[in-house]
Structure 1
Amino acid sequence: MRHLIIFESPFQLITSLQFIEFTAARKVTIVFIETKNSKNSFQVEKLVALVLNKFHFIDYEYKVVRREGRRVKFAFNLLRCCFYLKQFKFDDILTGDVRSIYQRFIFQNTNFFRLVLVDDGIALINSIKVIDSFECYFKHSGSKVERFLNLLLPSITIGNYFVFSILPFHELKSVSLSLVEDNYKQNFFNCSLFPVMEDEHLNKSMYDCIFIGGAIVQAGFIEENVYIELVCKLVERFFCGAYKKVLYLPHRRESLIQVSAIKNKLNCDVLHLESPVELEFMSKNIDGHGFVTFTSAALFTLNKIDPSKKFYYSKIEPSLLREDCHSSFFRMYSLFDSFSEEIKL
């Protein structure tokens, strides 16, 4: 069996590798599509160096579609990758976000039997929602490269697809007309597959509250000043006004200005992670009595790793959010309700 992994984020790679271990695949081609975010690329390269050799592949190759120089160079790199992959027939193609025009361009120009959707936070829910209506989603593609690639692709309907997710089947089925239980397998997030990456130079502390940030400002879902005020209000409500030891974990796409404002207002510690939060937590580089967030799906995976911890979330008032993202946020809150406590603002 030959498998192809296409990914753009560290967590997409983590969940893809768990599927590879589950299927005991023998030949794997791994393609990383670089994003504009240098922190993302740094985390991916570190993860690749630490993790790949731990998996029992008989044969694997790793390729990078580099985002270097002019946009046309990136498009050329993508086309060259597709041309190389055309020589193979893949049993499965694993993707963390079928909405990505770059991932879609590769798998639509590759010979394969089945598409496998893996987790990347809430992106999986959104991917399943649009899986039968690519045309509606992609007609709004933004950059010149995306619009050019979209012109080369016909709208499609995916027939044979499979879902490998930490999310329960009923949550995914509620947004899908085509998903059936035979095409679903739950990912129990096997921690033993990944190496311990203890950082001996890190000043480790037990925090009263670890706040998991999100890139919802950068995604255009909410205004920056509103998000900052909500973070501060949530931490204050968490401690009932009596501030204790707080650690803020920014998403890799959060701006330094935004993170600095949160740090100054809360007088808290900030840690820019070099690996996904799940691996840092497993390696005991971070630890706390309580984990808090507005929207980070990491709350769910951390609960899978250690359910003895306390987990909390807070809902953002819909009027503060962009209207077209309301349903995605509500589905995330529904998931949080199953294992964590809501803090009302």
Structure 2
Amino acid sequence: MEKTLVIVESPFQLLSAYEYASRYNSSIYDIVIVETGSKNNTQQMQETLAILGGDFYQSVSIIKRSCFFIFSILFKAIKSSKMNYKKILIGDYRSNYIRIIESRVNANTVVLDDGIALISSIHDIVEKNKSLISDTMISKLLSVLIRDVTRKRYSVFSMIPKNILLRAHSTTVDSYVNNDFSRIKELFSKKNDTRREHEVSKVCIIGSPLSDLNYLSEDVYIAALEQFIRFHDCMGNVLYIPHRRENPSKLDRISNELQVEVKLLSNPIEISVLQGEIYAETYISITSAALYSLSKMLQDKNFYHVYLNECYYSPNINVDVFEKAYDLLGTSTSRFVYE
């Protein structure tokens, strides 16, 4: 039986790996989880693995993201016959560490969903660009480890429709397969719906680290959400699910100023919703890919994305990626324009 190496850095990438492995179950899967420095991220991935179960993989390794990580994986790939893989599934093509490893493993590459981030990296995937994303001195030194990848086959396994993902590209990937979450939905289909009416929130906001990453100001981010809450008259009955990169001081502001309950999750929001940990009539976000994935998993719910015009973003920010994200969200969610 052929073997497949999976390298992921986030819970959502792990969900994508499960969906792929469940669909193509004629292979043996070895999973490498790369720690990003976020304790919450690592815990979520471990919890996610426990929920998904061990039937779809043979082994799991958790390794810190470092130069030692690169060399240890490369050493195993070169010296060990056990690393004779037919495919390598990677979760984030922007990751320098993953790019180095996948270029040196003699196997076809499948790029998994990483939400909206895949939109920003699709150009490099299509062009089979071997350069590293960062221009730091360390990246320049590490770039000598990357092999020429022009002859490798690159496939994309994504929830993002092909026409949106590859828009404005004259060339395409070697193969594209749509991720419809059918195996994820099937896994949780036997869960009983035991909610009580008083547990249902009117609105669930899916958080985004836009202000934390300096794409826009914290004031604009909070004001946009407040405008939606007041327009829909749901103040006091709102649940806020933060992204793992959002800082505590911002969450305190959101809790106090918007009168919302901030709820930290131990699993990806998709699992928490499908398991019944979260119930809401309406789900909203600004650019979170989870809003799109949930819209494909749930029936009879309302979904809104809050649209921000270009003027609200920080100077020198390339808003094209955000416009593509809005295009994606617009295919399955309603638009609320912040003014």
The one-letter code matched in structure 2 to 1:95 is I
Q: Once structures 1 and 2 are overlaid, which stretch shifts more, 120-129 or 83-92?
A: 83-92
1:125 aligned onto 2:103: no
AA matched with 2:230: E
TM-score under structure 1 normalisation? Answer: 0.87
The answer (yes or no) to whether the contact 1:51–1:195 under 8 Å persists in 2 is: no
String of CA shifts for 1:64-93, please: whole Å, max 9, x gaps.
2125xxxxxx31133112211333222111
Q: 1:44 to 1:196 in 2, by over 3 A?
A: farther
Deviation at 1:263, TM superposition (A): 0.4
What corresponds to 1:207 in structure 2? Answer: 201
Structure 2 counterpart of 1:288, from 280, 292, 310: 280
Q: Would the alpha carbon gap of residues 137 and 110 (structure 1) be closer, same or farther in structure 2, given more than 3 Å must change?
A: closer
Instruction: Give the match for residue 216 of structure 1.
Output: 210
Could you tell me how far apart the structure 1 residues matched to 2:317 and 2:256 are? 32
Q: What is the 5 A alignment of 1:1-345?
A: 1-55=2-56, 57=57, 60-67=58-65, 74-86=66-78, 87=80, 88-112=83-107, 114-131=108-125, 132=127, 134=129, 138-141=133-136, 146-153=139-146, 156-157=149-150, 159-179=152-172, 183-190=175-182, 191-193=185-187, 205-239=199-233, 243-322=235-314, 323-345=316-338
Is the CA contact (8 Å cut-off) linking 2:132 and 2:143 kept in structure 1? no
Q: Structure 1 pair 192/299, CA: closer, same or farther in 2 (3 Å)?
A: same
Q: Distance in 1 between matches of 2:191 and 2:101?
A: 32
* Partner SS, residue 302 of structure 1: helix
The alpha-carbon deviation at position 287 of structure 1 amounts to 0.8
Structure 2 unaligned blocks of 5 or more: none
- Residue 71 (structure 1) aligns with: none
**One-letter amino acid matched to 1:150:** S
Over 3 Å counting, the alpha-carbon distance change for 1:136 and 1:325 in structure 2 is farther
Structure 1, 122-131 or 278-287: larger mean CA deviation:
122-131
Deviation string, structure 1 residues 93-134 (Cα, Å, up to 9, x no partner): 11121111011121122121x111111111112221222263
Deviation track 1:271-314 (CA, whole Å, cap 9, x = no partner) reads 01110000000001101111111000111111111131000111
* Contact 2:207–2:241, Cα closer than 8 Å, also in 1: yes
Structure 1 residues without counterparts, runs of 5 or longer: 68-73
Judge conservation of contact 1:96–1:117 (CA < 8 Å) in 2.
yes
Using the size of structure 2 for normalisation, the TM-score is 0.88
Q: Partner amino acid for 1:230? A: A
- Over 3 Å counting, the alpha-carbon distance change for 1:209 and 1:35 in structure 2 is same
Residues 204, 106 of structure 1: alpha-carbon distance in 2 compared, 3 angstrom cutoff:
farther
Q: Deviations over 1:37-58 (max 9, x none)?
A: 1110110111122324143x5x
Measured in 1, the distance between the counterparts of 2:170 and 2:151 equals 12
Question: In 2, Cα distance between the equivalents of 1:225 and 1:158?
Answer: 47
DSSP 3-state at the match of 2:46: helix
Equivalent-residue separation in structure 2 for 1:334 and 1:53 (angstroms) = 36
Q: Deviations over 1:212-243 (max 9, x none)?
A: 1111123331222332222222322332xx62
Matching residue's letter, 1:29: D
Alpha-carbon distance between aligned partners in 2 of 1:210 and 1:290, rounded to the nearest angstrom: 6
| Cα distance, 1:343–1:20 mapped onto 2, change above 3 Å | same
What is the rounded CA distance, in whole Å, between the counterparts of 2:3 and 2:313 in structure 1?
Answer: 43
Distance in 2 (CA, whole Å) between partners of 1:38 and 1:47 is 14
Contact 2:235 2:259 in 1 (8 A): no
Q: Read off the aligned partner of 1:321 and give its amino acid letter.
A: Y
CA RMSD of aligned residues (A): 2.6
1:317 to partner: Cα distance: 2.0
Tell me how far apart the structure 2 counterparts of residues 206 and 14 of structure 1 sit (CA, whole Å).
25
